[in-house]
Each structure stands twice: as structure tokens, then as C-alpha cells.
Structure 1
Amino acid sequence: MLQATPLTEGWILRHPDDAGAVLPATVPGCVHTDLLAAGLIPDPFLGANEAEVAWVGRREWTYERRLRAGTGHEQTDLVFDGLDTAAEILLDGRVLGRVRNMHRSYRFDVTGLEGLLTVRFASAYAEAEAVRGRLGERPGAYAEPYQYIRKMACSFGWDWGPTLVTAGIWRPVRLEQWSTARIARVRPLVTVEDGTGRVELRVDVERSRVEAELTVEARIGDVRARGRIDGTEGVVRLDVPGAELWWPRGYGEQALYDVEVTLVHGTEALDGWRRRIGFRSIGLDTSADAHGTGFTLVVNGERLFARGVNWIPDDVFPSRVTAGRYRRRLTQAADAGVDLVRVWGGGIYESEDFYTACDELGLLVWQDFPFACAAYPEEQPLRGEVEAEARENVVRLMPHPSLVLWNGNNENLWGFRDWGWEPRLAGDSWGEGYYLGLLPRVVAELDPTRPYTAGSPWSGSWRHHPNDPAHGTHHSWEVWNRVDYDGYRRDVPRFVAEFGWQAPPAYATLRRALPGEALAPDSPGMLHHQKADDGNGKLRRGLERHFAFPEGDFDRWHYLTQVNQARAVAAGIEHWRSHWPVCAGTIVWQLNDCWPVTSWAAIDGDGREKPLHHELRRLYADRLLTLREEDGGLTLVAVNQAAGGWSQAVLLRRVSVAGPVLGAARVEFTAGRRAVTRVPVPAEVVPNGAKEFLVADAGELRALHFPASDREIPYPRPEFDVTLAPGGITVRAHTLVRDLLLQADRLEPGARADRGLVTLLPGERVTIQVTGWKTPDAAAARSALYCVEPTR
């Protein structure tokens, strides 16, 4: 049987400026984490330390350890699951190979060899700049040369990320010893037909003995089958009658089946392969209709409105992201009502732990190929690397039922058409051949059970603008960059794959990241941790459309920018969900952060939930109630994504901001399963001016409509009582209290509240549960409560 020996111990890292200086190295890991552990660089996440460690990415680095020859097997392979990025591998001075792709694994025959194993990393800058010198300039959204090297693009910096260009053995390395033959790869093609789950396992082997007769055995529970290996290939099929289906969360259970494959010579088991699969059918409806060209995911015949978030690498040093950390972050997504996670193209193909967690949590995965915001050369040496990484990762990720869509790139088709690339390129290659040629061919050949789309955004063909909202996927960035969030209501895209609004991280996260700094929106550390072009200016302009800017009051600024982020995203999702099935999904930019930064994330770089995260629970719930202006009046919209129908009586109240109820009415609606219904709001309860607002209550659901911006509303001075309650606090309002927020991390850094923004009418109360609060105190809780206040 194949024997695998992890090579995690005994590594050293040689410092490039001193041939005799060595450091202990952690594998998997990277240069920055080893230097941090040795105390040789400051934490680049704190203050402006990022700039102090920029030199690391410009140097060469060498990892070394002793390698002893294996015995008792015919062949010994040295296997690297990931090398970041351009490296030469030597064993006792003999070159085993040279590599230049972070997104691939590598295997070297070291049979009978032993001695000093050396992995010598070139600077990623040097490699990228050499390729640029050979192939010529290509435009990109950033000045860094990320499009010339197959490396995580955002390690070169992004509008939410630091520039920390590292190197290292970032995924596991091991010795594999085997005889006769080994399993090289298994492609499981999983389908469902008439209630029967079918798995066609295409098995490739590598041989050390050409003449050996080999068979492959497979089983799922009690279902077993056997096939013959013809040369280096074999096929075995399993049928599972009455197979339970795998469903995304909210639609059913996540039934998973263990598949085992064994390579056999005579009676001897040579190698094994084990994965968990799920039986489900996946479709993507891109048919034309009266509204344009659709983009609707279909799972097991069920058409979905996708409730999504964009995922970036959870750490700029991805080797630090453990299985537990993946699980925590993805559980936070599921807790927010998310059912789809898009793995964005400026990052990586994530580890098995990510996709396994998605399988078990019922989170659909939209996987980008790693291309983002740049023109990518299609010549060698990049073209061969792109094909090799695509082939490897398509096969690697195929077993996961959560994976439902392959996407060619992020914003590059759009960039070619709109960002001035076309004239600058003057006919040079820029990636179109990857997105419309190579990648769809690889997916069709290796993984025909899943759909492929050429890019995000993409209208389906060059007959339409790549970011045309009426066709395919759309990225909505005029809002935030140029216009207020009411701009979301101006159109109904078929699928909104990116949109969002910035806010700073939690207060405790800022305090940790900027120790000792007198915090202000434009203090040095805050500016360093704001990477977006004119980010603070956009935050200010967005705030001033709704509130008086709180000059000199950082705490109010911090709270109000959080409120604005949640309201902005709510404006988009409420509008687009209310237009199902024309609009078939929203993917918020973004779920997470890779360091402490002001960004579009719902969860900050320290893992703390912003108010947006809690707001997503309401916005992405199966049932959503919203009010919108149309046809000169107001309409109540009930969005029902549940499996059953929804009939409800709704109490509508026209309320004065001073407190009294000025009018009331009752309406009823019925919304079918996975359907939307609209009810006109009676004229007598439509608010008249900035002093009034509308409240719609349907059971536990509430929708609010304020007809004016906050700076125009004559709010009363908020009055409320705070008392301790078991596990938290209770707040009782005496006046209108709008967007009340307990910033629990101001009580203690580890404290978390179970809810975000809540609006209370006079006499109403809310209990907020708080975990991680060691010394509950009502006065302290009051100091951590914020709400909208009257304009001074």
C-alpha cells in the first residue's frame, strides 16, 4: 500500500543577507510568518508596519532540510501540494525541477536519493518582471505586476488588502513511497437519474511495472463495483437506488455519501482514494426572455434566488487559515442566511477544508478561476501554467457537491471593453483566449456535470456590453463610487454578482490594529488601513447624503458609517429580491477581510461581525417584508423563498416621529412558494412629509419606510432605559429610537451581541444577548449603545 510521510519537521529558512544565518521554519507556512515567529519583523497588520516589511518580497529565500531515502518500495516521490511561487528544488545540489505556479502541486521522483533538500525561492517580483519583459506590458487595475505570475493576485495589494508579497512552502509536503502502481487521479462524475444516484469514477494510474494486471474497486456503503485498468486508465460505475439528494441550506438536507476507490494488483491493495460526494443536479438557465438574458441557478430542478457573499482569502498569509477558521467564517455566513459563496478570482483555489465545510453547511460555491482586474498574457510560460492548474484544480474540487459553477475571471471582459485596455493592447493577447477558449474546454472535458460562465460580469456574448444589467451577471459599482445607494433602485439586473458599501471594522479591531493612536477618520493609521481610492471621501459623501457629518466625533462617525453600510446593502437586496424571478441572485461584496481594514466586508479582519452581518440575516431570510415607492404611492412587497405558501395579515401604521400613531389599516396577502406578491398601501397610511413614517408588522417581521433622509427628519432626543437581563441587556424605549446598536466589543474585546441595528417605537423593548461579557454592568452597556440622534 502507498505510504505517505509528511515532511513538516526539521526545516530551516536561510536569510538572504547572511549565508550563515538560519531560522527555524514552519511548513506549511511562508517567509513572513517565519520572520514574525523569530521576532525579526514587526506585525505587518499593526499600524503602518506593512511598509516596514516591503523588503521581504524583493529578496530570495531558501528552505532546507535533510531528506532520507525510503526503503521497501519501488518508487519514492517528493510531493509538494503548494509552492509560493517561483522556486528551484534541489537534492544534494541536483536540480529536481523549477516551478512558477502557486496554484499547482508538484511531484518529483527521488527514488534512491537522499541528502540536503533545498527549495530556493526567487522574488515573485523578479519572476513577474522577467515575464513582463519577455511578453510586454499589459494593463491592470493596479500598478503591481500580478498578471505576469500565477500567484494569489491580492498578495500584491488590493483596494482592501495590504501589499505583502511572500514566498514559501504554503501547503503540505510529503514523501510518497509505492510499488507496482499508484492512483494518479480520480474524476468522479456524479449525476442523478430517476431517483438513482450515479457515480462514474474515471481512474488514472501511474505504473512502475507496465505488465502488472490492475483492477479498481469502488464502493458506496453496500454498493460495490469493479473495473479493469487498461494501460493507465480505468472506469468503474456505481448506482445508488433511492439516493438522498444534497440540497443547499434552506431547501433540504445535505446528504453526503462516502466513496472509496481501491487500486488492486491480484489480492494486494496498492493505493486508495476516499472522498465524500453528494447527489444533486445543477443547471444554469441563461435563456433569453422579455427582460433580456437570464442567469438562474437550478438545483435538483428548483430555481433559486441565490443569497450570496463574495469570499476573499481570509488571511493575506493563507497558510494560517486552519480548518477551524474556515468553519467559523463559513458558519458566520450560514448564520446570516447566505446560501452561496463566490470564491473571487483575485485569490486562490481554497483548501479542501473550505469546500468540505461548504458541503456540510449547504453553501453553494461559485468558483472563479484566478484571474482578476487585469489583462493576462496568453503566451508561454503562462499559458501552459494556466492549463495545468485548471486541469488539476477542476479534478481536485469535482467531488464537492457544494461546487455548482466555474467562472472564468473577475471583471476582465468588462475591463477590456470599458477601462481603456483595448486601444492600449493594440492586438496583444489579454486573456480572452483563456475565458472563451481554454477554460470552457477544460471544464467540458473534465467536469461536464457543472456549468461554466466566461466571467463576472458577463452578458453571455459580445453582442451585449459585458456589464449590461439586462443580460447575465452584473457588477453594480456606480453606487458607492459615484452615486448614493438609492441608485440600486434604478434597474433590475438579472443577477448582481458584486455590489457593496464600505464601513470601518469593529472598534476593538481598530484598537488592536492601531495601538495608542488617537482615532480619527483621517488619523495616520486609519488612512493606512483604508486602501480604496478616495475611500474616506466616498464614505464622507455617502454619509452626508443622509446625516450631518460628525466633525471631530470619531465614535459617531464610526457608528454612522456602519449604519450607512447596512442601509446601503439593504436598499439593494430588498429591491432586487422583490423583483424575483427577473433578478435571480445577489452576491454582496464582501463577506470577510484578510487583515484589519476599512472595507466592504460584513465580518472584519479579526472575525467580528459588523452591523451589516446582522442585517443580512433579515435580508436573506426565507421571508422578507419590504416597502417601496412606485407609481406615485407605496407598495408592500412580500418575498417568500420558503417551500410553503405564506398568507399573512399586515398591520400598517402611519406614525409621527414624535410618537403618536396617526393612522392605521390592515391588509392581507398570499404569496406562493418561492414567489413574490405586492399589495398597494392604502393612501390614508402613506406618510406625509419628513415628520412621519410607516410601520408594517406581519407576525415577527417588520418593515419601515421613512420618506426623507435622516438629516431632514425632526427626531426627538432618544430616551430609553437599560437593564440587565439573563445573558444580556433589555432596552425599553420611551421615544422613537432608530437604529439602536450595542457595540459589544466596546464592553470587552471578546464580547459579541446577538443582533445588530434595531428600531424601537415608544413603549417597545428589545433584549440583546451578549456572550463573552465577563462583568455585566448596565451603565457600561448604556455607554456602548448608539442610535440615530437629531441633527444638531
Structure 2
Amino acid sequence: MFLSHRLDITNLINVQREHVLEIEFDSALKRAREIKDSYPNHKWVGYNGEMARLGARKAQYHWGWDWGPLLMTAGIWKTARLEVYSVRIDDIRTEIQLSKDRQQATVMSFAQISSDTSTAYRAVFTLHSMGHEIERKLVSIDANGKAEANINISNPQLWWPNGYGPQTLYEISVSVIKDGEEHHQVSKKFGIRSVEVVRQLDKYGKSFFFRINGVDVFCGGSCWIPADSFLPRIPKDKYRQWVELMAAGRQVMIRVWGGGIYEDDSFYDACDEYGIIVWQDFMFACGNYPTWPAMLDSIRREAICNVRRLRHHPAIVLYAGNNEDYQVQEQIGLTYDYEDKNRDNWLKSDFPARYIYEELLPGVIAEESPGAFYHPGSPWGDGKPTSDPSLDCVDRYAVWHGTQEKYQIFDRLGGRFNSEFGMEAFPHLETVDYFVERQIDRFPQSQVMDFHNKAAGHERRIATYLEENLRTSTDLETYIHLTQVVQAEAMLYAYRGWRRQWGDNRRCGGALVWQLNDCWPTISWAIVDYFLSPKPSYYAIARALSPVAVGIQREHHDWSLSHIRPPETAKYNLWVASSVQEEVVATVELRFISINTGSEIRESIRHHDVHVTPNGTTDIVVDGIIDYVQYPEPHVLAARVWIGDRVISRDIDWPQPYKYLGLADRGLEVNESVGTDDECIIVVSAKKPVKCLTFEERDGVKLSNSALDVVPGDDQTVTITGLKAGDKALGWKFLGQ
């Protein structure tokens, strides 16, 4: 499935008759089972789907996953075409040499050319930027069909990640000419940037973060799965909509997960244009993959094919060998001696896939995309357990999976780079209505609902997090919102806490939620559902990733252990996180507001002329004290940051759990005013603190913000685009309503 094929049919063609291209496909499911039965000595172990999938180079999620259905496909899923030519450009690639001061760049371009004749052709290399020609070079083609040209650029325009600068793209074009006539032409766009993955020993272990163009980048983002179970029905503009959504949500990185596909060109093109940097897995996930010679040959050709296709994209900053295969090795007890560097021993062991990840794939990267960063796995322990938080990238699933810790301690559970973590939530009611056809099935625990959640134990885990935190309900619309509140809160605690650690010696280099999207209308960890409707968690993450973001959080008090013994005091921390490269001067305010009355129970604290550390964290209050004896009224801690006279960030910390709080009567006002034919403004105010005011998501309508916490004296505005005059106003709901 992951290979392109070129077949020479010259000798099969008769111009006097019609011809039919006929391709016969095996049943992937049956063929995979036959392959598995043919190799009984291999340990066919892993998780998700049946293990026969490990022997078929096909999208692994088609065998079913814990978020998607088993829908086996077969057939042509990409373009099939007939080419007639006398000369063609098979491939072009570029390698960039960028000076340390990034003031000079050399673009080294290479072309591989095929011809049916020995007639001398020549190649023209042309470099463009933003529609302007920079330089053109005419060169010879050698006897092996190779041509190359170097072009120097002074003061190159660099390519930057989202939020850090412009996404300047250059274009290299290669034309094959003879006697002044052009016979074939191919172009590719690329960016000029430097990428370093910083892995150095420090007081927390070994760092793992990205430095792009000399700037350290906190990689807040998401993991990506295929956007449909039936891939050919994803239009190119839908890929662009997904990437636009990420960019609007201030995300920086997307991880293309190893159980799906090497994505469509339009996906990577959009990432290039919007500055979404890509962590690209090779297509191996959750299993012990076999390595007989024909399989290794197929994998090598697959890797070469896709690296050649992808290597010009500036967005791609890392290739990873697999998803969680080293975890399979650990949990099942397969042989792995990190100190043994004898490749033959790897192939003879019961974990032969090590050869793929530590020999074959890095070799392909070195040959086809020299300089690209390769990582053996996601996660990868570098010889230590993959769960070791002092190492590289880790999957942080102690919340939801594993011991099912409270999400309020997410910040304590992280590693140096958190490449997977998540919390499930229902999609919006409109999406649920799409797959629930009968009124009798329209309740949270119906069989149809359960069928649309593939996660093992989802009933108990959703119930646990709801019961621990919220006043529950069986009303479907309310129940949906409650699950979304839990997911949004979990993401807030994760992103807010881990981003704070970025300023502490880069203790945390990034956070990629599992997952951004769905492949069908379903209940899952996705923060945006199948129909591109953002859940509240999407907006919570966007606020936590603001260029300058205030954070306020009181220490966690485990109510499940203390019950009726509330603490007499609690510590809290107030800080500002920044991804801005220059120092900014701000005012930081902290208010203490009664949940029951909306009044301020003590004098607010205001810090003036705060010099916010560039690209780091500025602590405002460390271990401040809340005295519950003196101030027993349950209250929120409401923080704001001003630059000049403009509020640029808010954060509100609530006493936990929400189920102990009465949140129904809030004095909420939602007022709409029309701005233009395509845009309107909503102004929100409240007399008492409001939790998670969520607006209706509607097709074609975009919100600048949602899932808001609102406190008295701090009106908030939401810009809505796509809502026409005369359209019904958007509905809304909040916790406790």
C-alpha cells in the first residue's frame, strides 16, 4: 500500500487496438492470515487489531483500533496514469547548507533523468522565491542521468514554525531541454531553515526539544491519525482545513502516527504553508514486526519511496521508526539487549524489528535525506524503560490508561517530551445525531453509543472521571457537555503545567495530545470531531499556547482521600509563559472571587512592570498561601495579563472538584452585535463565576474562542465568522446550567 510502482509497458502496446489495465487484489485480511501461518516461528504479538496485520504492509488501523472500526479495504487508492515520454525527470532533491549566522545559504539541487536515447539533453535549474526568479543555471547531464547545480543566496528568507515568523517557501524548477525546446519540467517547493533536536544531560535527565533557526521552540500540538477509514474520499481542501484549524489553535507540531499512512501531499503542503512542523512516524505501530528477507526488501523500498517524496518539505523535522513497538517489547518480554550492537543477533532474536528501527530506516535516512533527524521510536528509552520520565519522548497515559490518575496532577506525570496523552470526550450533539438513527438509542449508554467507542473499558473510565469531578446527568445533551468539560480541564492542566516547565531548563520540550482528529463519527480522545467541529478542549489548548499566557494553579488536594477534611491552607503559583523572543513589560493581576456571590473576598493583587522572560517562564508568585480558615468562602483565583491597556491572557483556577460547587445561577449575559455581513461579535458578562461557556459549533461558522470561564468585572468578546444576517443565533451552555 505504501509503494509507488512504475511498469514499462512499451512492448505490450499495440496502437491498432484498445487496451485494458487490470489489477487483481488479494483480500488483505485473508492474505495477511496466510502470511502469518507461513511463519509460525515468529512471535506475532502486539495490541490493537489482529496480529496478522504485522505481515502486511497496509495501513494498520484498517484492522481496527481503539478509536476506529475494522473496515478492511483493497484497491487503487491513489492516481493511476499512463505516461508517454522520450525523456523525463525521475526525481529532484535539494540539500541546504545554512551558515551559522543564517546570513548565507547554498541550495544544492540534484536531478535524476531518464531518456530513451543517447541524444544530448541539458538541464536548466531555476530558483524562485515569492514569484521572482533568483537565478538560472544551465548544466550538463552525465552518463548516469544525473545533473546538479549549486545556487548561493545572501540574506535568505527563513522558514519558521507557526507563531515564530513567516513561512517563506522557495521553488526549484528543473527543465530538460534540447535545441532550445523544453521536453519535461518538474518543480518542488522547499524552505530554508536549520533544525536541531537538543538532547543533552541536565539535572532532570536528558533533554529533548527542538531548536529551529537557532530559536528554542516549545512544541505544543497534536497527534494525527488518517482523517477517514476510506482514504480516497478525503478531498485536498479538507486536509487544508485540518491544518488551518491547528494553526488557528496556536499549535506548532503535528505527529503523523505510525499506524496510518504516509499522508497525502496536500497535507504536507499545507503544513509547509501554515508552519505546522511534522513529526513523521514510519508506518509501524504496536506490534512485533517480522523481518524475513522479502519483508525487509519491501520495507526498504517503502522507506526510500516515501522519504524521497517527503524530504523537500521544511515542515518535516523528525522521522521516528515506529509507534510504541518498544513498549510491546518491554511489556511482553521480548529479547532486547541494548549493549549488543551485532545486527545479525538482532535478526535472530524474538524482537527482530529492532533491525528495522536501528539499522534499516536510519540507513535510508542517511542516504536519501542526509541531515534529517531520525529517532528509533515513539516512545524510545535509549536503552532504558520507555516510561522513564527523565528520557527523550514518552507516552503519558497514567491519566485515562494505566493507574487512571486524576488529571489535576498531569504536570507531575510528564517527561522531557510528551508525545502522547489524552482524555476521551463525546463529540457534539449534531455528530451524535448523525450516527444515532433511532430515538430509542439516543441516551449515553446505548448499544449504538458503546459501538461508537472502541476504547477498552471506556464505560468505567468515562464514569470514573465524571463521578470524581462533576454532578452527573443522564440527559444526553448535558452528558455530552460534561464529558467535554472533563476533557477540556484535563488538557488545560496538561498544557498549562508542561508549558510552565519549558522555562525551567527546558524540562518539558513539547506536548502532543492524542489525538487531533477522527477517522469516523465517533467517541474518542479527539479534540476535533470527524466533521471538523472543535470540542471545548481545542479552545482550552489554544489559550494555554497563547504567545504570552498567564497561569494560575493551586496545589492539588486529593479530595478522594480526605473527603470531609478540607485543607486549612493551600499553596498556589502564578506565572507567565512566553514564546515571544523579546522581553515584554506587562501588568499581572490576581483576583479572589466568591463562587457563591461573585464578590471579591479579599483585595486583589496587581504586579506592575513585570518584565516577562523571552521564550520562557516568569514566576510571579511561588507558593503563595490561601488561608481557608480566614477565607472559607469557595472562590476562584482569576488571573489576567495586560500589555498596555489590552488584556492578552486570562486563566482561572477553581477549587476541585466541581461537583461540590453550586454553579447554576450565574447571572450570565450573552449579547450579540453584528459587525459585517460575515462577522459578528458576542459580548459575555456574568455576575458570578461561570465555568466552560461553550457555543454551538455549526458547519461553516468559525469561533475565535469558546469554552470560556467568565468572572464578574471582566467581559469577554467572541468573534464569529460565517454567521449570516437572519441566521439563528448560536446556542450555548455552561457547567451547572
Matches within 5 A, 1:637-786: 637-658=575-596, 659-663=598-602, 664-668=604-608, 669-680=610-621, 688=631, 691-699=634-642, 700=647, 701-715=649-663, 717-726=665-674, 727=680, 729-745=682-698, 753-762=703-712, 764-771=714-721, 784-786=731-733
Partner of 1:467: 387
Does residue 1:292 correspond to 2:214, yes or no? no
Residue 347 of structure 1: how far off its partner (Å) = 0.8
One-letter amino acid matched to 1:719: G
Q: 1:414 to 1:504 in 2, by over 3 A?
A: same
Structure 2 CA distance for aligned equivalents of residues 176 and 292 of structure 1: 55
Structure 2 CA distance for aligned equivalents of residues 324 and 592 of structure 1: 16
Residue 775 of structure 1: how far off its partner (Å) = 7.8
Structure 2 CA distance for aligned equivalents of residues 130 and 122 of structure 1: 11
Residue 214 of structure 1: how far off its partner (Å) = 4.1
Partner of 1:478: 398
Does residue 1:586 correspond to 2:490, yes or no? no
Does residue 1:602 correspond to 2:540, yes or no? no
Partner of 2:371: 449
Residue 682 of structure 1: how far off its partner (Å) = 8.4
Within the candidate set 203, 210, 216, 2:111 is matched to: 203
Matches within 5 A, 1:309-708: 309-422=222-335, 427-459=349-381, 461-462=382-383, 464-481=384-401, 482-517=404-439, 518-550=441-473, 552-580=474-502, 581-629=506-554, 633-658=571-596, 659-663=598-602, 664-668=604-608, 669-680=610-621, 688=631, 691-699=634-642, 700=647, 701-708=649-656
Within the candidate set 224, 238, 241, 2:136 is matched to: 224
Matches within 5 A, 1:243-322: 243-265=156-178, 267-322=180-235
Structure 1 CA distance for aligned equivalents of residues 272 and 357 of structure 2: 27
Partner of 1:104: 3
Q: 1:178 to 1:372 in 2, by over 3 A?
A: same
Provide the aligned length of Structure 1 versus Structure 2.
Answer: 677
Aligned-pair identity in percent equals: 30
Q: 1:689 to 1:384 in 2, by over 3 A?
A: farther
Per-residue CA distance 1:406-458 (angstroms, 9 max, x = gap): 111111112211245559x9933441111111001110111112111111111
One-letter amino acid matched to 2:621: P
Structure 1 CA distance for aligned equivalents of residues 348 and 405 of structure 2: 33
Residue 719 of structure 1: how far off its partner (Å) = 3.0
One-letter amino acid matched to 2:48: Y
Structure 2 CA distance for aligned equivalents of residues 568 and 409 of structure 1: 27
Structure 1 CA distance for aligned equivalents of residues 515 and 626 of structure 2: 37
Runs of 5+ unmatched residues, structure 2: 14-18, 128-132, 337-346, 557-569, 675-679
Structure 2 CA distance for aligned equivalents of residues 774 and 272 of structure 1: 45
Given that 1:750 and 1:772 are in contact with CA atoms closer than 8 Å, whether structure 2 keeps it comes out as yes
Given that 1:724 and 1:776 are in contact with CA atoms closer than 8 Å, whether structure 2 keeps it comes out as no
Residue 268 of structure 1: how far off its partner (Å) = 4.6
**For structure 1, which segment, 678-687 or 407-416, has the greater mean C-alpha deviation from structure 2 after superposition?**
678-687
TM-score (norm 2): 0.87
Given that 1:191 and 1:449 are in contact with CA atoms closer than 8 Å, whether structure 2 keeps it comes out as no
SS at match of 1:565: helix
Residue 233 of structure 1: how far off its partner (Å) = 2.9
Per-residue CA distance 1:289-323 (angstroms, 9 max, x = gap): 22111111111111111122111111111111222
Partner of 2:90: 184
Residue 774 of structure 1: how far off its partner (Å) = 6.1
Per-residue CA distance 1:15-59 (angstroms, 9 max, x = gap): xxxxxxxxxxxxxxxxxxxxxxxxxxxxxxxxxxxxxxxxxxxxx
Per-residue CA distance 1:498-525 (angstroms, 9 max, x = gap): 1111101111111112223342121122
TM-score (norm 1): 0.81
**For structure 1, which segment, 265-274 or 347-356, has the greater mean C-alpha deviation from structure 2 after superposition?**
265-274
Residue 684 of structure 1: how far off its partner (Å) = 6.9
One-letter amino acid matched to 2:269: T
Matches within 5 A, 1:8-27: none
Partner of 1:130: 34
Partner of 1:33: none
SS at match of 1:579: helix
Partner of 1:88: none
**For structure 1, which segment, 330-339 or 137-146, has the greater mean C-alpha deviation from structure 2 after superposition?**
137-146
SS at match of 1:673: coil
One-letter amino acid matched to 1:758: L
Given that 1:213 and 1:229 are in contact with CA atoms closer than 8 Å, whether structure 2 keeps it comes out as no
Residue 760 of structure 1: how far off its partner (Å) = 2.1
One-letter amino acid matched to 2:599: P
Residue 335 of structure 1: how far off its partner (Å) = 0.4
Structure 2 CA distance for aligned equivalents of residues 539 and 266 of structure 1: 71
Given that 1:725 and 1:767 are in contact with CA atoms closer than 8 Å, whether structure 2 keeps it comes out as no
Structure 2 CA distance for aligned equivalents of residues 772 and 281 of structure 1: 39
Given that 1:213 and 1:266 are in contact with CA atoms closer than 8 Å, whether structure 2 keeps it comes out as no
Per-residue CA distance 1:266-300 (angstroms, 9 max, x = gap): 64534322111111111111122221111111111
Partner of 1:94: none
Runs of 5+ unmatched residues, structure 1: 1-101
Structure 2 CA distance for aligned equivalents of residues 681 and 304 of structure 1: 25
Q: 1:204 to 1:635 in 2, by over 3 A?
A: same
Residue 246 of structure 1: how far off its partner (Å) = 0.9
Partner of 1:49: none
Residue 769 of structure 1: how far off its partner (Å) = 4.3
Q: 1:258 to 1:239 in 2, by over 3 A?
A: same
Structure 1 CA distance for aligned equivalents of residues 355 and 533 of structure 2: 41
One-letter amino acid matched to 2:107: V
Structure 2 CA distance for aligned equivalents of residues 723 and 242 of structure 1: 50
